[in-house]
Structure 1
Amino acid sequence: MSLPVLSRLRFLAAGLGLASVLAACGSGAETTTATDASPAAASPAAGPWTFTDDRGKKIETPKRPARVVAQVGAAAALWDFGVRPVAVFGPHRLKDGTKDPQVGDVDITKVESIGNVWDEFNVEKYISLQPDLLVSGMYAKDALWYVPQKSAATIEQVAPTLGVNLIGMSVPKLIERYGQVAAALGANLDAPEVTAAKARFDAAAAALPTPEAKGLKILVMAGGPEAMWVVNPDDHPDVRYFKELGLDVVVPEKVDDGGYWQTLSWENADTYEADVILVDARTQSMRVEEMRKKPTFAGLPAVKAGQVYQWHAEERYSYQGYANVLEQLRTDLAKAKKL
């Protein structure tokens, strides 16, 4: 494997793009969708509990799981619905000790950490927590996000696992699915904070696009030292939703074999015309100020016009999370103009 491919793999391993590697190197089977699985209603805490996840796997436990461990994306969504995991894994603490935005409103001082970066999962600590259930999203069939393949068999033996499919779905459906999981775990979906967040989300969605924003061509991307990646909207639930709302998002002409992106060298940064560029805001992605050191990126009309804004690539799938995203997107697009 050449050095450029290794470098790309390191970048992708820290974020959504690794799913393309997983999909390419995995079983090769098609992903299921949330609509393929039977929604589960909440079960009484004292009685038998069942739930069918998006792998088609029927989970059965003597009582409703109370000690839930979750990947940070799932943990953040469940937290907003009222479920309080006992532990999280995946990016939740930055180098300075503050919260990683990916963990949302989860109080990281009140949950245990069993891993903070890719391929880090403390199995011994996980066992010691005596979990009832592990919850994670899936960017490839049967591959629980941030659960290391080398430890997957052991982790599966400790407690049941529940996977939520994140591919081929739009944001509202994913939020609804996490709501179903939360309800099955005892959350009250009619709680005032949940209904208020939904009303805010609905209002934010209805406000997009403005007439001005409809005329803007939007490029969504991430960057690394040796290449940039243009988002394929169909493979990213949030960007797919932006399109559904009526925004004009660039669709790459040639998507990588594993999906998700089209990889471009920095020399070809001008492949697609755009009035606005949304850049991956995760900590593992190259910062915009670093990208501006690439002459071809710095020369793009949107960059010269200052119309480069953040894209929160792994925002939690809750009404709170995406109300924030849609409101900020509307604010950013209101500052932009057709170039």
Structure 2
Amino acid sequence: MSGTQAWGFTDDRGAQSGAARAPGRVVAYVRAGAALYDLGVTPVAVYGSGHDGDVYDPAKAGVLEAVGVPYLGPGRGLDEAVLRELRPDVVVDVTYDGKSPYALDAALVERLGVPLVALSVGGELDLPAILDRFAALAAGLRVTGPVDVGPVVTGPMDVSPADADPVVPGPRAANPVVVGSDAVGPEIVTPVTVSPAVGPGQGAALAEFEAAEAALREAAARSALGVLALSGAGPDQVHLARPQAWPELAWLAGLGVRLLDPGPGPGANWLTTGWEHAAGLRPDLVLFDNRDHATPPYALPGGVRLAPWNPETPPSAAAYARFFRDLAEALAP
């Protein structure tokens, strides 16, 4: 960072960003935005992926919709004029390959002339490292005052064709921060006040994450249940997750959860097959993808337990603590 830059960040593509002041207006992919909110940074707007429609997917929204953060629709169909009207200081996305942002076109952000930060959620990092990276970004977005969530966007955005499913889809969260803005104007909705710039909130979230890890480790030690993670693709097809390809599933395995591998076949992260193959693995507990674009579980043996799984859980200690607690409960006798 040069002497004229008050803020700088190197993302997981190796791209360096800098600015004369800490970015106050953040537009983010919904998964990243939900994580930043947990870390005390409220985006002015969020956008979805090619899987998403014109309204929030409840599995991805978290509390963003409830607190009034506008949703812009799929990122590949974003209107440049709408983004310019939002006046972002930085755009935050995720990357699965360490090269490209997942949910929007980098060229669009380049035309805006603002930094684009893409943080890895792929298999090259373990879950604590992923959580650390989001916490580090949030800690750098440190300004004071309430945040304006930006102009209200009305009407649907153009929906791009569905893109490829994420490959996946770490803790140690930093202190919460507050995003502020010096923007004024009649189109700004009522400000949302977020956490103080320094406070115990993230320390409490980290403590809860560690307690949830311990509870899950204990539940796994008492359970012999075989767990299969999957994403339904209709009555005839299902995507079965390869546990070691997904940071969160690999972390569960390290805590003692007995995750089932779908076996050999094409696909580094999913094995796409029929429901009869899933049934043949004889799972005791199925973690089913609960995002809107996935279909419910079909044709599984009677007595199989079901528990929801969001493969795009926000990368924050608070969000994963909730997931670990829910899974520990699902594993209980």
Matched, 1:326 2:324: yes
Q: 1:312 to 1:213 in 2, by over 3 A?
A: farther
Match of 2:207 among 199, 205, 210: 199
| 2:280 equivalent to 1:266 | no
Distance in 2, matches of 1:96 and 1:261, equals 27
- Note closer, same or farther for the CA distance 1:118–1:222 as it changes in structure 2 (3 Å cut): farther
1:138 pairs, out of 71, 87, 95, with 95
Which 5+ residue runs of structure 1 have no aligned equivalent? 1-39, 292-296
SS in structure 2 opposite 1:60?
strand
What is the rounded CA distance, in whole Å, between the counterparts of 2:7 and 2:286 in structure 1?
A: 46
Q: Name the structure 1 match of 2:240.
A: 230
The AA in structure 2 aligned to 1:184 is: G
Write the distance in 2 (CA, Å) between the matches of 1:155 and 1:97: 22
Tell me the alpha carbon deviations over residues 255-280 of structure 1, each in whole angstroms, 9 at most, x when there is no partner.
Answer: 534x2101112343334232211111
Instruction: Give distance in 1, aligned partners of 2:5 and 2:56.
Output: 39
AA matched with 1:139: Y
1:151-204 C-alpha deviation (Å, 9 max, x unpaired):
x31322211100101112232221111000000111734622211111111001
State yes or no: 1:247 paired with 2:257. Answer: yes
Q: CA deviation at 1:103?
A: 2.3
**TM-score, normalized by length of structure 1?**
0.74
TM-score by length of 2: 0.75
Q: Which residue of 2 aligns with 1:216?
A: 225
Within 5 Å, which residues of 2 pair with 1:148-227? 148=105, 152-158=106-112, 159-168=114-123, 169-186=125-142, 188-189=175-176, 191-209=199-217, 210=219, 213-225=222-234, 226-227=236-237
Paired residue for 2:43, among 85, 94, 98?
Answer: 85
Residues 307 and 110 of structure 1: CA distance in aligned 2, closer, same or farther (over 3 Å): closer
Q: Quick one: distance in 2 between partners of 1:154 and 1:211?
A: 46
Please tell me the residue identity of whatever aligns with 2:71. Answer: S
- Letter matched to residue 120 of structure 2: N
Task: Identify unmatched segments of 5+ residues in structure 2.
Answer: 144-174, 177-197
Take 1:213 and 1:312, find their aligned partners in 2: how far apart are those partners?
Answer: 25
- The percentage of aligned residue pairs carrying the same residue is 29
2:96 is paired with a residue whose SS is: strand
Pairs within 5 Å for 1:107-146: 107=65, 110-115=68-73, 117=74, 119-146=76-103
Separation (CA, whole Å) in 1 of partners of 2:59 and 2:136: 24
Q: Which amino acid aligns with 1:200?
A: E
1:214-246 C-alpha deviation (Å, 9 max, x unpaired): 422111111112311110112222111111111
Q: In structure 2, how many angstroms separate the alpha carbons of the residues matched to 1:102 and 1:306?
A: 25
Between the aligned partners of 1:109 and 1:231, the Cα distance in structure 2 is: 33
Per the alignment, do residues 72 and 173 of structure 1 end up closer, same or farther by CA in structure 2, a change over 3 Å counting?
A: same
- Structure-2 change in CA distance of 1:95 and 1:143 (3 Å): closer
Summarize the Cα distance change of 1:287–1:123 in structure 2 as closer, same or farther, 3 Å threshold: same
- Structure with greater helix share of residues: 1
Determine if contact 1:80/1:318 at 8 Å carries over to the other structure: yes
| Partner-residue secondary structure (3-state), 2:249 | helix
What is the CA–CA distance in structure 1 between the aligned matches of 2:199 and 2:127, rounded to whole Å?
A: 21
Distance 1:223 1:64 in 2: 42
Cα deviations by residue, 1:18-44 (Å, 9 ceiling, x for unpaired): xxxxxxxxxxxxxxxxxxxxxx9xx99
Report the Cα distance in structure 2 between the residues aligned to 1:165 and 1:211, rounded to whole angstroms. Answer: 28
Give the aligned residue type for 2:203: T
**1:263-301 deviation per Cα after TM superposition (whole angstroms, max 9, x unaligned):** 11234333423221111111111123xx1xxxxx23x2x
Distance change >3 Å, CA 130–CA 255, structure 1 → 2: farther
